[in-house]
A and B are shown apart, each in its own frame.
Chain A
Amino acid sequence: MQAFTQHSGIVVPLDRANVDTDLIIPKQFLKAVKKTGFGPNLFDQLRYLDEGQPGTDHSTRPINPDFVLNQEKYKAATILLARENFGCGSSREHAPWALLDFGFRAILAPSFADIFYNNCFKNGILPLVLPAEEIDMLFQGVESGEIAELTVDLDSQVVVVPTGKRLHFDIDPFRKTCLLKGLDDIGLTLEKKDLIKKYEETQKLVCPWLFEDQLA
């Protein structure tokens, strides 16, 4: 996984609550068997005016001029400014894959849905929670043109706003470490294999029916 230490980039405002993962990447694109290539179909229903299908040339499709990501100044955005409960719905990891493939490295919102939030960390994307008032302030700043870029510093847990403001955010220390170092958390868990085996041995005595292995 790609590490995340500090990132500066263009911020795009997506002013809409409860953005669900069906909206982030519609189901017809989940038929892929790789983790890459979802970028052109990120927010497909919002970005284009027609129904997208996998394998088609997306450069020739009719663009929705009203959708924020289609505005010239946001095309190279890498930071997404979002509203509450971002990423609700399906557990599809294709949602963070699509965001990453488009180029997003950080998402700022007042709250996230649990599974999506968790999935981001597995892919080197930093989903960070800021109080609603600060998110409002950022929306106003971005929409007025006062704020074009932000810097997110994970180590010191701050978002640096061009106006000079530094917004602190909280993050779980384990997730922070994994992201800072780009750690493979499966490898980390496997370092505990003796503990896992010990747990299994104990459980075999307490709940032996769980180890009858009828699916073998």
Chain B
Amino acid sequence: MSGKTLYDKLWDSHIVEQRDDGTALIYIDRHLLHEVTSPQAFEGLNLAGRKPWRTAANLATPDHNVPTIKDERVAGIKGIMDPLSRLQVEILDVNCREQGIVQFGMEDKRQGIVHVVGPEQGLTQPGMTIVCGDSHTSTHGALGALAQGIGTSEVEHVLSTQCLVQKKMKNMLIRVDGQLGAGVTAKDIVLHAIGVIGTAGGTGYTIEFGGEAVAALSIEGRMTLCNMAIEAGARAGLVAVDAKTIEYVKGRPLAPKGAMWEKAVKYWQTLVSDKDAHFDELVVINSADIEPQVTWGTSPEMVTGVCGRVPTMDMMDSASKRDSLRRALSYMGLNEGQSIQDIQLDRVFIGSCTNSRIEDLRAAAKVVKGKKVASSIKQALVVPGSGLVQQQAEQEGLDKIFLAAGFEWREPGCSMCLAMNADKLGEGEHCASTSNRNFEGRQGFGGRTHLVSPVMAAASAIAGHFVDIRAWN
């Protein structure tokens, strides 16, 4: 019998009941909530006259709707100008209070994007099952936790039962061999990988990222990687536990302490795939093949290297792909074969649960230090992932570097990643964005998103178009 994958271990240790029909009742250790996907779940809970199964397993914070302008934040919830956004944030507040769920509210320094907050607080720990009504919950897999996005019905299910009914996924390993070149980041690995396997390539799988290049990444880099597992179709991404993982969790507010810590660490060290574990699918990527990535289309798989070009019709091997290319080019206002570096930009967004942590901001600040945002750029935004990331960045003077270069320095939230608040693209505008989705209208009606790493976004803001960060200074 072959050994177990990390996913096998996480799955097996959470089975409450294995059923004959192939489904299993799976226990959920932690549940994160935000204002957009929870109101109907709380309503369902109330209508059924139920109470949360385990209140202390839940943590909430508003992120999708919150304004990022300081003036609009000062008055808290009441200061949110959009009445519908305000209502959602209010309802989260009321629901958490009624059910006794801890919430990092708008005025709390710990508020932020839910997937930045979880790891930052030490809520996210190796070996846990974690869910949230948000597809980017896969982020938490970077710490060796089985973390998945769920719909609102399942939010209610978890609130009510602390469990989910699931069928086990298959195992995929994406192994990234060799060392990344200078200027190539975790974001480029994951965009490249999505380009290789496609946006549905991971459907039905849990993806473990491994290999030399992944082992060399920081935990924050691994979060970027796992964050976008869902863009490859996989509900969960994973990275094996190593010394960096344990070091990262140590001392965080919700991390185990004292003797409990020692016991936990001993267990966490077993959370790696066994050497003889069987993966249903293996994808090998050579680091040397990864250059800084830029998406040119309306799906994350429509991606190429910064020295590349928009593909041409004759490169597409099916009618469906030609149709998708035609549609994407028309929406994006690009031509077949156009050079990526010729794409002129209107806005730049550095933020989102993919790339708004302190390392992202440090890397971007280093690129823009002493330089100015190109005059053709209408707006360049930096939105820290949480109040604590913001505080740390300000202590390091990063805010001043961004402001001096002509960026706006904002309050934490999801912001322009999905444009539910006032931060959005205008029709036809091209944006270099460190977020995760380039779907039509995602960042604003008619907006044109190009997904890139923080250093690529920063350099592009200065140049006004895409530039190869490796050859740029």
Residues of chain A having any CB pair with chain B under 8 Å: 15-18, 20, 22-23, 26-28, 30-35, 45, 51, 54-55, 83-85, 88-93, 96, 111, 113-115, 118-119, 122-123, 172-174, 185-186, 189-190, 192-193, 195-196, 199-200, 203, 207-210, 212-216
25 A-B pairs with C-beta separation under 8 A? A16-B324, A16-B327, A17-B320, A20-B439, A22-B439, A23-B439, A27-B418, A27-B419, A33-B39, A33-B88, A96-B151, A111-B203, A172-B21, A174-B21, A185-B165, A186-B156, A186-B157, A186-B160, A189-B165, A192-B17, A192-B163, A209-B263, A209-B264, A213-B56, A214-B56
- Contacting pair B58 A30 (CB below 8 A): no
Known: A118-B154, A190-B161. A31 touches B256 (CB 8 A): no
- Contacting pair B151 A174 (CB below 8 A): no
- Which residue of chain A lies nearest to B160 when distances are taken between CB atoms in the complex? A186
Q: Which residues of A contact B420 (CB under 8 A)?
A: 27-28, 30-31
Could you tell me the distance between the alpha carbons of A35 and B125 in the complex, rounded to whole angstroms? 33
Could you tell me the distance between the alpha carbons of A214 and B125 in the complex, rounded to whole angstroms? 13
Give 1 or 0 for each of B33-66: 1 = CB within 8 Å of chain A CB: 0001101100100001010010111110000110
Partner of B440, one of A45, A92, A189, A192: A45
Is B284 interfacial (CB 8 A cutoff)?
no
Is B227 interfacial (CB 8 A cutoff)?
no
Could you tell me the distance between the alpha carbons of A171 and B153 in the complex, rounded to whole angstroms? 20
The number of chain B residues with a CB under 8 A from chain A is: 84
- Which residue of chain A lies nearest to B148 when distances are taken between CB atoms in the complex? A115
Could you tell me the distance between the alpha carbons of A144 and B12 in the complex, rounded to whole angstroms? 50
Known: A111-B200, A196-B16. A17 touches B323 (CB 8 A): yes
A178 to chain B, nearest CB (A): 9
Is B150 interfacial (CB 8 A cutoff)?
yes
Q: Which residues of A contact B59 (CB under 8 A)?
A: 215
Residues of chain B having any CB pair with chain A under 8 Å: 16-17, 19, 21-23, 25, 27, 29, 36-37, 39-40, 43, 48, 50, 53, 55-59, 64-65, 82, 84-85, 87-88, 91, 102, 123, 125, 127-128, 133-135, 149-154, 156-157, 160-163, 165, 167, 199-200, 203-204, 230, 233-235, 253-254, 256, 260-261, 263-264, 267, 299, 320, 323-324, 327, 418-420, 427, 437, 439-442, 445-446
Could you tell me the distance between the alpha carbons of A118 and B204 in the complex, rounded to whole angstroms? 12
- Contacting pair A18 B25 (CB below 8 A): no
- Contacting pair B25 A192 (CB below 8 A): yes
- Contacting pair A91 B260 (CB below 8 A): no
Q: Which residues of A contact B21 (CB under 8 A)?
A: 172-174
Q: Which residues of A contact B40 (CB under 8 A)?
A: 33-35, 93
Q: Which residues of B contact A20 (CB under 8 A)?
A: 299, 437, 439
Could you tell me the distance between the alpha carbons of A28 and B84 in the complex, rounded to whole angstroms? 9
Q: Which residues of A contact B53 (CB under 8 A)?
A: 196
Partner of A172, one of B23, B37, B153: B23
Known: A31-B87, A85-B200, A208-B263. A93 touches B152 (CB 8 A): yes
A183 to chain B, nearest CB (A): 11
B322 to chain A, nearest CB (A): 11
- Contacting pair A203 B56 (CB below 8 A): no
Q: Which residues of B contact A15 (CB under 8 A)?
A: 323
- Contacting pair B439 A119 (CB below 8 A): no
- Contacting pair B154 A31 (CB below 8 A): no
Could you tell me the distance between the alpha carbons of A15 and B85 in the complex, rounded to whole angstroms? 34
- Contacting pair A119 B153 (CB below 8 A): yes
- Contacting pair B441 A203 (CB below 8 A): no
- Contacting pair A212 B260 (CB below 8 A): yes
Known: A114-B235, A196-B162, A208-B263. A18 touches B299 (CB 8 A): yes
> Which of A30, A88, A174, A199: most chain B CB closer than 10 A?
A88
